[in-house]
Structure 1
Amino acid sequence: MLRFMPVGDSMTIGSAGDHTWRHRLWRHLCETYGGPFTFVGPREELYDKNAEAPVSYAYAEPDFPRAHLAGWGEGWLHMAPVIGDAVRAHRADVLLVSLGLIDLGFYTNAEQTAENVRAFVAGARAARSRVRMVMLPVIPNVRALTDPPFATQVALFNELLAKAVADLDDRVSPLLLASVPESWDIDTDTYDGTHPNAHGEHKLAGAFAGAMWEAWGLGHPYEA
């Protein structure tokens, strides 16, 4: 049984009523991956915007493995200290990671965020030496359009993330850098300039699926 753990921020946890890209990827893998698999993690909730807390289970389609390690307003800074325990407890084989926007927006600069990426990788490997990881860069968002210093930090972090992936890649515990969807459009792929709508969910799922197919031959290219 191959055990995937989605790790991310608000774009990964999703909010009440969403399918989430996690669901979209699960459906894709059900159709294209030849062996048994599941999603694992210490959480299952969606974020409830009315309660301003992750207390909802109102998925658009709830019948799938909903486990994850994602949080609204959480980033590399928050996940690096807890990833080891999560990987150890849930025996994750593949981490699907989408983080960074929150760090750069509120907590750390690009260099500090990249150091937390390295701490995250070390913690995951200490818990499970053969764990594999797929990392998505920070994708285009509305703040980067209106805040030039923030946009500069995003661009720098994405460069540092690519360098970290190259530096830390290992035959036993490989790292992959997924590609930002080429057609990503904040007007048509998000509902607020940041969070994915249905179109965006498919594209994020496709980014992870495409990386795993190209590098590991896992599954097939994504078709929405």
Structure 2
Amino acid sequence: MRGTHPLPLRFIPLLALLAALLLPVGVPLAPPAAAAKGAADPVRIMPLGDSITGSPGCWRASLWNRLRSTGYTNIDFVGTLGPQGCGQPYDGDNEGHGGELVTNVADQNLLPGRLAATLPDIVVMHFGTNDVWSSLAPDRILAAYTRLVEQMRASNPDMRILVAQLIPMNPSSCTGCAQRVVEFNARVPEWAGATGTSRSPVTVVDQWSGFDTAVDTYDGVHPNASGDEKIAGRWYPALTALLEAGPGDPGDPGDPGDPGEPSGCTASFRAVSVWLGGYQGEVTVTNTSDSSVPGWAATVVPVDGARLTQVWNGTLGTAADGTATVANASWNGTLAPGASASFGFIAGTPATAGAPSATVSCTARAASS
């Protein structure tokens, strides 16, 4: 039958050209979805470590759900490894490789490829347990930390990094491990102070204080359910502080002192006990506002070259000049009007230091609207 032949193929490019010419001038074609990147992109967070982080590392599930339930929804946990259960829905991507030594990761240059595949904005690192177990010297482990931080910044100059003081370790097959963790953790704040920058801060998170291997692990090393909750509780305030500050903004510590901007809380210091080379101190934070606050952070500036080395009932971050910032723990952040919370700490001092003294201040986190 006439009139039923298909168009010759040579007509099709011509029709496409005519259609393109009919488009209004100045109307751009939409870019591919993969090429679009805007301000609404989620913050990419890499949990980095060994089996404590990834096998199965269920503190990540607890942390993820705690963040989501408190309004931090624009986040994405990233890593080349996937979830391993944990009995609750969560974003299980991570970089926790069971059995890895942080020194091997640095020596074998393993991290750059993992960073390139995931492009994190924040790294949450609990790494070095296997190195301590292997009796490697703190200097060597911290050199590996430095190498990894350099690689993180090569991937992202604005990388923000949370580094844990390791949870305690007391396996029956390693009688010296418990003390080696203590000795290593004591070195971490000074390393972080020398390594952090205003553009790429390194914040120390005390995962050691208040963690009991007899109660919070199933084998003296790996956390059980209660241990997972404690680890998540220590990461939470430090991580939310970074999420609230945003990239390139370490938190603007000068803001609370600006005229006309009350901090919402006061802080007081007392020395509990003193010994040669150190002392135990306590800081009490009081909500002075007329409404409940969901969290707080205290600044501690010790005199005579003292430095905070351990904190309990709070999460420690230390700047290069020795100034310490302690954020509330998960259980003592919410304060009603007039209510108080306290945290304790150990400070190391030079032999020439005088009586313990510190300037303390605090700021309350605003309630979510």
State if a TM-score over 0.5 links the two structures.
yes
Q: How does 1:89-108 map to 2 (within 5 A)?
A: 89-106=117-134, 108=136
Residue 69 of structure 2 corresponds to: 31
Aligned-partner Cα distance in 2 for 1:146–1:105: 7
Residue 277 of structure 2 corresponds to: none
Residue 184 of structure 1 corresponds to: 211
Q: How does 1:88-167 map to 2 (within 5 A)?
A: 88-106=116-134, 108-143=136-171, 147-148=175-176, 150-167=177-194
Higher helix fraction: Structure 1 or Structure 2? Answer: 1
Secondary structure in structure 2 of the residue aligned to 1:188: helix
8 Å contact kept, 2:49–2:126: yes
TM-score where L is the length of structure 1 = 0.82
Secondary structure in structure 2 of the residue aligned to 1:139: coil
Secondary structure in structure 2 of the residue aligned to 1:193: coil
Secondary structure in structure 2 of the residue aligned to 1:142: coil
2:100 is aligned, of 39, 49, 74, to 74
- CA RMSD after TM alignment: 2.6
* Percent of aligned pairs with the same amino acid: 24
Residue identity matched to 1:111? D
Listed as ranges, the gaps of 5+ residues in structure 2 are 1-41, 246-293, 296-328, 332-369
Residue 345 of structure 2 corresponds to: none
Higher strand fraction: Structure 1 or Structure 2? Answer: 2
Residue identity matched to 2:121? D
8 Å contact kept, 1:110–1:154: no
Residue 49 of structure 1 corresponds to: none
Larger radius of gyration: 2
Aligned-partner Cα distance in 1 for 2:99–2:163: 18
Residue identity matched to 2:234? A
When structure 1 is superposed on structure 2, of 115-124 and 101-110 the one drifting more is 101-110
Aligned-partner Cα distance in 1 for 2:166–2:78: 23
Residue 52 of structure 2 corresponds to: 11
Number of aligned positions between the proteins: 208
Secondary structure in structure 1 of the residue aligned to 2:100: coil
8 Å contact kept, 2:102–2:127: yes
Secondary structure in structure 1 of the residue aligned to 2:215: coil
Q: Following TM superposition, by how much is the alpha carbon of 1:145 offset from its aligned partner in structure 2, in angstroms?
A: 10
8 Å contact kept, 2:172–2:220: no
Aligned-partner Cα distance in 2 for 1:82–1:168: 21
The higher-RCO structure (CA 8 Å, 6+ apart) is: 1
Secondary structure in structure 2 of the residue aligned to 1:7: strand
